[in-house]
Amino acid sequence: MKGLKKQLERIRPHFQPGGKLSALHSVYDGMETFLFTPNETAAEKGAHIRDANDSKRTMIIVVMALMPCFLFGMYNTAYQHWLAAGASEFPFWTMMLYGFLAVLPRVIVSYLVGLGIEFVVAQWRKEEIQEGFLVTGILIPMICPIETPLWMIAVATAFAVIFVKEVFGGTGYNILNVALVTRAFLFFAYPKQMSGDNVFVATDPVCGIGGAAADGFTGATPLGEIATATSSEQVGRITADWWNAFIGLIPGSFGETSTLCVLIGAAILLFSGMASWKIMLSALIGGLSMGAVAHAFPSATFPASYMSAFDQLIYGGFAFAIVFMATDPVTAARTETGKWIYGFLVGAMAIVIRVYNSGYPEGAMLAVLLMNVFAPLIDYCVVQSNVKRRLNRVKTSARS
């Protein structure tokens, strides 16, 4: 590593103003600060918060928290494929290789398109390259079905990075979660390709690994099956295997099926102080509350209302959304009281959308996007309430 550091220092003058590669200064700076902690400190006078941690290291910790879900997604992708092919044996390492090869092109496309746009914009603005896409780039393939075509991921990623992030000023200025907008763009622009029965299961061999899906195979998610159910008994049969649902051995988007792995990731985020436990807890309370209300008034018109509140938490992307999406510090509420309100509404709205909109049986991701829009309003109301309360306290003290 010392040799690499010396090499970077040796070529630095070429990327500085006046150097022959000065036009690529942002690229050099991004690579150097990604590999090594910068030794520059704030030079301006005044109060500054100084910390050994920087935004790149923060993003890397979040990526580490995502790894349990990512690794399990590799296994589950292969597991669902093996089931579709009618296999009776499940070789672990072969399956892991299959899952890795299946998702790798999607990760590469996500990073190439997103980082490519950010590099170009940074050079154009003569700014440093931002680090936010380190997390977004891996989130995008994790919240998409494994059969999503690569060109769709490229188009949706470009749209989200340009119109949701860079237009507003880059990392830290976006009002919506970039990965979720990518997923929403795919869903609304290509609904047939994103909501079919088999898009959540890889049906073809990858690099000669795996077999062909059996005739008549269908790979609908449990929530997709529930949306078309006609009775509480049918819903009960679908949700009976809650243990596999908790572990994540069910069809779904690549990285969001395992509630167990999401909990491991949540523990990492909370232990490192990278996410708000208030948002997570309040979203859990909101989801349980709304799930209990829906279950108390079941209706055949809305078959998801037959699901118990507990089932609502472990099926679909609810857990993944509240841990890795709702807690995004840029797009979530920032006041302490606002975090409780924001989280509760995310959880409640996720169940409302899931139960009472059969055209969108997932709900969690759309709920987070909706509350991203209202997060500034929530914070504004909380601040104004605090100001009014303090003014009343001052007036009361003045009278006495």
pLDDT of residue 87: 86
- Reported as a single tens digit per residue, the pLDDT across 284-343 is 999 999 999 999 999 999 999 999 999 999 999 999 999 999 999 999 999 999 999 999
Tokens of 342: 């924001």
Share of the chain above pLDDT 70, in %: 85
Give the residue among 211, 194, 190, 110 at the shortest CA–CA distance from 146.
194
- Reported as a single tens digit per residue, the pLDDT across 103-128 is 999 999 999 999 899 888 877 777 77
Average pLDDT over residues 258-263: 97
- Reported as a single tens digit per residue, the pLDDT across 186-206 is 988 988 777 777 788 888 889
Which region among 88-102, 201-215, 280-294, 367-381 has the lowest average model confidence (pLDDT)? 201-215
Residues 6 or more apart in contact with residue 351 via CB below 8 angstroms: 286, 287, 290, 291, 294, 312, 363
pLDDT of residue 106: 96
SS (H, E, C) the chain: CHHHHHHHHHHHHHHCCCCCCHHHHHHHHHHHHHHCCCCCCCCCCCCCCCCCCCHHHHHHHHHHHHHHHHHHHHHHHHHHHHHHCCCCCCCHHHHHHHHHHHHHHHHHHHHHHHHHHHHHHHHHHCCCCCCCHHHHHHHHHHCCCCCCCHHHHHHHHHHHHHHHHHHHCCCCCCCCCHHHHHHHHHHHHCHHHHHCCCCCCCCCCECCECCCCCCCCCCCCHHHHHHCCCCHHHHHHHCCCHHHHHHCCCCCCCCCCCHHHHHHHHHHHHHHCCCCHHHHHHHHHHHHHHHHHHHHCCECCEHHHHCCHHHHHHCCCHHHHHHHHCCCCCCCCCCHHHHHHHHHHHHHHHHHHHHHCCCCCCCHHHHHHHHHHHHHHHHHHHHHHHHHHHHHHHHHHHHC
- Reported as a single tens digit per residue, the pLDDT across 217-257 is 777 889 988 988 888 999 999 998 899 999 999 999 999 99
Amino acid identity for residue 386 in this structure: N
| Confidence at 34, pLDDT banded by 50, 70, 90 | low
Tokens of 112: 């190439």
